[in-house]
Amino acid sequence: MPTARDPAADLQHALLTRLRLRQLSLLQAVDRHRTLGRVAAEMRLSQPAITKALREVEDIFGGRLFERTSRGLVPTPAGEAVLRYAQRWLAELEATTRVLTSLEAGRSGRLRLGLTQQVPQRLLSAALTHLLDRTPRMAVMTREGTTDELVAGLVARELDCAIGRSYDGDATGLVQEAIHEQEPCLVVAAKSVKRLSRGPLDWARLAELDWILPPPNTPMRRTYNAIFVGAGVQPPVPMLETTSIRSMETVLRTEPNAISILARDVVAEMEQAGHWAALPYRLSWNLPPVSFFTLKELEGHPMVQSLRAVVVATARGMQRKVG
């Protein structure tokens, strides 16, 4: 009696025996350019050769990965899934080559760390000191971005761990731990503090100022909009949308009515330059906690574990000092 076929097992066998890394690069190029002519030019092959190569890849995966439309070649649902995994596979390959190169250069390994702009300097210093003060030294790559961007980098295997705001989205395999609470404060130009702090906290009055807010559709922007709505005030149209501390500082230095919301401990670190200062109001809510992120598959890696331990210990020390 014939046994039932397992389509998943058949596909896995095809991938293991027939799929080549160059074919994954081809799929990324097709997705990037959306026309076979441009792909052929980039890969320095004829268009018929690229067409044949794409058909071979689609045959391996057992279905069409791209559809021809007026907008060029557009990924099918199957193509979208394959492209996501192709990105991960190629990112893992790139990471492996970097680690091997680091080992050959006498390093103890390589770690890729993501950071948000509002990570307190003390946490950042503790993390980098731990990673760089090793014998032999470790190669370290840091990348700054919003929490959403850092989580995307983790899922795409472009980062090993990250320190950012807590994340409430859906990310397969993501592990996060809240490590540090931050109090928000209203920050303005130092020369404007006295004028803008007259009277009680009034969100309607504050909404008329020149706001610096995170970009649209980010968790922090949604949080700030909810604060205004909860106070019965229409969220302001910002003068500047950014997460860059340097951009905020530049605008706050030059615009007398500029205002933003930042973590009080970050503002305290930056106040020493004298360009900005916190208004003397206490807000009745906390920012989403600073959190340590990694992937389930990397959670047990010795370097990730040791970095997490140092960051958590530093955060606890900061909280005890505040308390």
CA distance 1 to 248: 72
* Residue scoring higher pLDDT (112 or 11): 112
Q: Hey, what CATH topology would domain 7-85 get?
A: Arc Repressor Mutant, subunit A (1.10.10)
The CATH superfamily assigned to 184-278 is Periplasmic binding protein-like II (3.40.190.10)
Query: Of 54-68, 95-109, 212-226, which range is least confident?
Result: 95-109
- What sign does the CA torsion over 277, 179, 299, 151 have? negative
Within 13 A of 123's CA, how many CA atoms are on the CB side? 28
- What's residue 70's pLDDT? 87
The ranges assigned to domains in the chain are 7-85, 106-181+289-322, 184-278
Contact 56, 43 (CB under 8 A): no
Band of pLDDT at residue 203, cut at 50, 70 and 90? very high
Residue 95, pLDDT > 70, answer no
Contact 293, 176 (CB under 8 A): yes
Two tokens at 239? 């003068």
- What's residue 106's pLDDT? 54
Cα Dmax for the chain: 88
Q: Hey, what CATH topology would domain 106-181+289-322 get?
A: D-Maltodextrin-Binding Protein; domain 2 (3.40.190)
Give tens-digit pLDDT for 8-31: 787 777 777 778 878 888 888 888
Band of pLDDT at residue 211, cut at 50, 70 and 90? very high
Residue at 168: amino acid letter: D
Q: How far is CA 88 from CA 64, 95, 113, 153, 286, in A?
A: 21, 10, 17, 10, 35
Residue 98, pLDDT > 60, answer yes
Give tens-digit pLDDT for 143-179: 999 899 999 999 888 899 999 999 888 888 999 999 9
What average pLDDT does range 71-94 have in this prediction? Answer: 84
Residue with tokens 């000191």: 129
Residue with tokens 């958590």: 312
Identical fold between 7-85 and 106-181+289-322: no
What average pLDDT does range 103-113 have in this prediction? Answer: 71
Two tokens at 184? 């928000």
* Residue scoring higher pLDDT (243 or 106): 243
- What sign does the CA torsion over 313, 314, 317, 323 have? negative
Band of pLDDT at residue 100, cut at 50, 70 and 90? low
What average pLDDT does range 87-94 have in this prediction? Answer: 76
Contact 150, 164 (CB under 8 A): yes
CA distance 68 to 190: 57
Contact 228, 235 (CB under 8 A): yes
The pair phi, psi for residue 189, each rounded to 5°, is: -65, 140
Give tens-digit pLDDT for 29-45: 888 888 888 888 888 88
Nearest to 304 by CA among 172, 127, 145, 136: 127
- What's residue 23's pLDDT? 83
Two tokens at 299? 């959670």
CA distance 109 to 123: 22
216 cis-preceded (ω within 30 degrees of 0): no
